[in-house]
Chains A and B, each alone.
Chain A
Amino acid sequence: MTIIATNYKEHLVRSLTVQTIAIFFAAVCMLFAVQGLHASSEALPDSENCLYCHRYPQMGRYDENGKKRIFYVNERIFAKSVHGKLSCKSCHVSGLDQIPHTDIKKVDCTTKCHIKEPSTNQEFSHANVVLKMETSVHGRRNKDNPYPEDLPDCKSCHDNPLYATLDGMWCDNEALSNETLARCTVCHVRKEWAESFYTHFTHRMRKKRAQKDIVQLCTGCHEDREKMNRHGLESIETYKDTYHWKQVKYKVENAPDCLTCHVPVGHSTHEMYAQTDPRSPLHMNNRVSTCSHQGGIQVCHPGATPEFAMGRVHAYGAKAELAAAETTIKIGDDTDKSKSLVQIRAKKEISDKEIFHYEVLRYLTLIYKVLIGSTIGFMCLHQFLDYRRTRKRMKHSHHSSHPEKEDKI
């Protein structure tokens, strides 16, 4: 019994020692791990040592066109950006070996970076979305556009979000965000990972930009008359005459911006098509659905009739003006080389009925302007004369002792 007891005691002591050592070892490991984590959340793991030069804010040069280029990278901001987990060479694939770099190529967003896309476990790239964009109305493929340089690339629209802080569903309320995040970190102990996953997920569940910013983004190109004319389009400033814009201006929730009506339901912003394409939500077959319930996304004009939905939402603009002018003047024909693309398209796209509508509205506006001008002009004149005469009459009656009598004569 005693032997057994001694053995047991020895065993106990030994195992306790092993446990203590193990715990101590684990604690030391964790300490290092935490320190490492802490370090990585503050600074980029700059394994390529790019920041050796690029951390200096003054770093930059003037290029051949005299344009100032800045090559400074703020590591803390970069670490928080969508691409914060990538190394520099993931995107800047070539021409970096020589210093100073001489043969740098522009970043191609379809490049495969060394991140695994979890659903296929293959190397991730933006190739899918770029392909969708390229075949959409904004894309450079599948159409012989005479001015491809006008068409947008990734960075034309994805301008600032690269450096914008990402926030979650409860973007305005940090406490709520943390509250939600706390439920993730119960199991997913690495807080940094949980946070990144959380923001990745949640920022796709709401609109990233305010409606007004989207309108501003689109009008950046679409209000440029010269550019639009080249492509046979009209400037879209007429959108700002619509009630849609008034709501956007007042920040009404879910107020319709450009994307609300122009992006096909169930697709991403990259997949916009021309109105004539049956996939476009503005194709005549899809109009009623687009105006009434957006395919179930939100109810805007419940019970919209086809007559309502098929109308022109933006007010009549340059094209109607051109088409109307053409019917009255009748100069040249479609083969006329002097005609711009927008003139040719205006004639094709604006029906006679629409020209009639445009003319009616134009004359009505004119009539009202004349009516307001003349009526208010007449009124002002009348009241001015009245004021002058009444003052004179009052002066008279003040001077005379019997004003009534004098007035009556």
Chain B
Amino acid sequence: MNHASSTEQRMFIRLNRSEKNQHLIFVISFIVLAVTGFMVKLPDELVTLLGEHRQTVFQYRSIIHRLAGFIMILASLYHMGYLVFTRSGRRWLKDMLPRPKDLTEMFQNFMYYLGARENPPEFDRFCYKQKLEYGALIAGTALMSISGVLLWSESSWDKFILDIASLVHNMEAVLACLAIMVWHMYEVHLRPHKFPLDKMWLTGIISEEEMQEEFPLHYKKIMENPELQKIYIVDGPVKNAETGHGITMADVSHMN
């Protein structure tokens, strides 16, 4: 698929440096939380396999789970600040807000899947899939954080509140992990043209080709507006890029 014209190929920024780091911290704390959390649910037979180290494992598990939870809460608070106090954060929030258009696009996309349309709808910066997931992420993190903190400080609460917190914490964990596996992992790593690993979450950038394919409306908007080009194109506005050289990974890391 790559043409000889790689020197002319522009790279587009999907995640800026801060967003990339936020995502990375979130990924790590999420995995740690999921592993240490579901360890409590392991069946007896598997626990027995740990032998005499069981107690130590459990104690470290408890500490690490709380630590990772604390980090995730901090990251979430930071993200909220990012959405309000930075220009790129406010732009993110504006682009992420659900609109009626998303419903139509979802319908159109289903028509495309079923073969009733030749092409998928033209998505903007964030499509309905990402908006749904982001919404679920916010709701899930809020519920997990609140119920987690309640369980952490259990002795001060009514047992009924703790029962609800523990139920929500359990169920939400199952929901979150399944959703991440089915929705997110598929979307970013398992889709046939991205398999086995889309490096975007590490580099933060995608190719022009991919941009046209996945987010055509966003692409069009960028190409029409030099201000947006400054933000989203790796080597600055189009005219500079055309005179410039091809972009390598080393350049990208410099940019960020």
Residues in A lying within 8 Å of B, measured CB to CB? 243, 246-247, 249-253, 291-292, 301-305, 307-308, 310-313, 315, 357, 360-361, 364-365, 368-369, 371-372, 375-376, 379-380, 382-383, 385-391, 394, 397, 403-404, 407-409
Which one, B1, B55, B114, B172, contacts A250 given CB within 8 A? B55
Q: How extensive is the interface on chain B, given as a class?
A: 35 or more
Q: What are the residues of chain B within 8 A of A305 when measuring CB–CB?
A: 155-157
The answer on a CB contact under 8 Å between A246 and B40 is yes
State whether B191 touches A249 (Cβ < 8 A): no
- Whether A372 and B57, one on each chain, are in contact in the complex, defined by CB atoms closer than 8 angstroms, is no
Q: Within the complex, what minimum Cβ distance (angstroms) separates A260 from chain B? A: 16
Interface string of B49-67 (1 = CB under 8 A from A): 0101011011100000000
Q: Is B47 an interface residue (CB 8 A)?
A: yes
B178 touches A376 (CB 8 A): yes
Question: In chain B, what residue has the closest Cβ to A249?
Answer: B47
User: Do A303 and B164 touch across chains, with their CB atoms under 8 A apart?
Assistant: no
Q: Which residue of A lies closest to B57 (CB)?
A: A250
A364 and B164 within 8 A (CB): yes
State in angstroms the CA–CA spacing of A124 and B139 once bound together: 67
* A-B residue pairs in contact (CB < 8 Å), sample of 26: A249-B47, A250-B54, A250-B58, A305-B157, A308-B158, A311-B163, A312-B159, A313-B159, A357-B160, A364-B168, A368-B167, A368-B171, A368-B172, A371-B175, A376-B178, A376-B179, A383-B182, A383-B187, A386-B113, A386-B191, A388-B113, A391-B192, A394-B193, A404-B209, A407-B119, A408-B119
Is B11 in contact with chain A by the CB < 8 A criterion?
no
Distance A379 CA – B133 CA, assembled complex (angstroms): 11
Residues in A with CB closer than 8 Å to B54 are 250-252
Question: Which of A301, A303, A385, A404 makes the CB contact (< 8 A) with B113?
Answer: A385
Q: Which residue of B lies closest to A357 (CB)?
A: B160
CB proximity of A262 to chain B, nearest CB, Å = 18
Q: Does B118 contact A387, Cβ atoms closer than 8 Å?
A: no
Most buried by B among A243, A251, A310: A251
Most buried by A among B40, B113, B157, B174: B113
Complex contacts, A371 vs chain B, CB 8 Å = 175
The minimal Cβ–Cβ distance linking A219 to chain B, given in whole angstroms, is 13
Q: Once the chains bind, are A249 and B178 in contact (CB under 8 Å)?
A: no
- Contacting residues, chain A, for B159 (C-beta < 8 A): 307-308, 310-313
Q: A251-B55, A361-B163, A407-B213 are in contact. Are A372 and B158 (CB under 8 A)?
A: no
Closest to A292 in B: B155
B224 interface residue per 8 A CB criterion: no
Q: Are B113 and A383 in contact (CB under 8 A)?
A: no
CB-CB under 8 A from B134, the residues of chain A are none
Once A387-B192, A404-B209 are accepted as A-B contacts, the answer to whether A372 and B113 lie under 8 Å apart by CB is no
Tell me the smallest distance from the CB of B54 to a CB of chain A, in Å.
4
Q: What residues of B have a CB within 8 angstroms of the CB of A388 in the complex? A: 113
Q: A357: which of B118, B163, B175, B183 is its contact (CB, 8 Å)?
A: B163
Given A250-B54, A357-B163, A368-B167, A385 and B114 touching (CB < 8 A)?
yes
B1 in contact with A403 (CB, 8 Å): yes
Contact A389 to B112, CB < 8 A, known contacts A311-B159, A376-B182, A404-B212: yes
A252 CA to B187 CA, complexed, in Å: 41
Q: Report if B162 contacts A (CB, 8 A).
A: yes
Q: Does the CB pair B58–A247 fall under 8 Å?
A: yes
Nearest to B51 among chain A residues (CB) is A251
**Chain A: minimal CB distance from B179 (Å):** 7
| CA A383 to CA B154, docked complex, whole Å | 40
